[in-house]
A = this chain, B = another copy of it.
Amino acid sequence: MTVNRQILLAARPVGYPKETDFRLVETALPEPAPGQMLVRTLWLSLDPYQRGRMSAGKSYAASVEIGAPLIGGVVGRIERSASPAFKIGDIVEGWLGWQDYALAEPAALRNVDPALAPIQTALGVLGMPGMTAYFGLLEIGRPVPGDTVVVSAASGAVGALVGQIAKLSGCRVVGTAGSDRKVAYLVEELGFDAGINYRTEEVPAALRAACPNGIDVYFDNVGGEVTDAVLAQLATGARVAICGQMSQYNLEKPDLAPRNLRFLLVKQARMEGFLVFQFADRYPLARQRLARWIADGRIKYREDVVEGLENAPKAFIGLMRGQNFGKLLVRVAAA
């Protein structure tokens, strides 16, 4: 191989991204400078946060420039190493972007243990989504046994874990998702107490039925009308973890909605936004616990695998519309 395929941001999406917002280019295989590694991408992670990086607006991280490769988490294999830190064949994880190969400094890579779990879980249940679910629920949501926990986008990479960790924490768990198949998965496979199809059900009424004592913890991945309905049904002392606002990422103009801060006041409720990075010093502990729960069969996860880097844009567009079912991954090369 002497060619590196990269997917660049061709244009800033207006509303939902479309295929012409992406461009696949072939560039020369880069040469590692002293101290660098050349990494072959095996798995690329597609995640909702990437939509924010495609926009120009200031956020917690810099935007991707037009013409630059899109950013994303990758699990790859060391192909060439000019550093003693990693040897050829090592499986690593890092923010290496939408491309076949990447150069990386040792500090940008983390070793993945293939004996612990399938390596692509380093992008899912044992990676950023897993850390997000673990810390967001336990540190921001702070569930206690007997709480009613609602999670939105509950069949997604983060939501499915949130619900299962909440069950392990002794809670009643209700999830919202966008299809009957997903809702059935929550209840039948993951052990949720109830699921709500937000596309076909009347969410306020369905929540009232599923949460007769109100909602103690809400883990929000979506914002919008689902969140409106939840906030109106908070229990006294509720905690709301704001993890994502997926319903808002592809709007061409701001969504207007009734103000709802009064619900926080009346219910003495706390709402807190978080970025998983704030818990980075404790990732190893969380990874260990999640791996144990998986090994013990107490936590399940589901992957939605797309073959080929060239199909990443289409898969990402589907992710924005909720068409994936489980953690969305692109298999870029065989391990």
Which residues of A does B touch, CB under 8 Å? 59-60, 220, 223-224, 227, 242-245, 248, 254-259, 261-275, 278
A261 partner, pick from B262, B265, B273, beta carbons under 8 A: B273
A265 partner, pick from B256, B268, B275, beta carbons under 8 A: B275
Q: Give CA–CA (A274, B272) in the complex, Å.
A: 14
Main SS of chain A's interface residues?
mixed
Q: Give CA–CA (A244, B248) in the complex, Å.
A: 27
A270 partner, pick from B245, B267, B271, beta carbons under 8 A: B271
A259 partner, pick from B60, B257, B275, B278, beta carbons under 8 A: B257
> A256 contacts which chain B residues (CB < 8 A)?
256-259
A–B complex contacts, Cβ < 8 Å, 6 sampled = A60-B266, A244-B265, A245-B259, A255-B258, A263-B273, A265-B275
Report A229 CB to chain B, min CB distance, Å: 14
A266 partner, pick from B224, B259, B273, beta carbons under 8 A: B273
> A244 contacts which chain B residues (CB < 8 A)?
265
| Closest residue on chain B to residue A249 by CB atoms | B262
> A275 contacts which chain B residues (CB < 8 A)?
265-266, 268
For A243, A267, A268, the residue with the greatest tally of chain B CB atoms inside 10 Å of its CB is: A268
> A259 contacts which chain B residues (CB < 8 A)?
223-224, 245, 248, 254-257
With A223-B261, A248-B259, A261-B242 already in contact, the answer to whether A273 and B278 are too (CB < 8 A) is: no
> A278 contacts which chain B residues (CB < 8 A)?
268
With A271-B271, A272-B271 already in contact, the answer to whether A59 and B266 are too (CB < 8 A) is: yes
CB pair B258 A264 closer than 8 Å: no
| Closest residue on chain B to residue A238 by CB atoms | B273
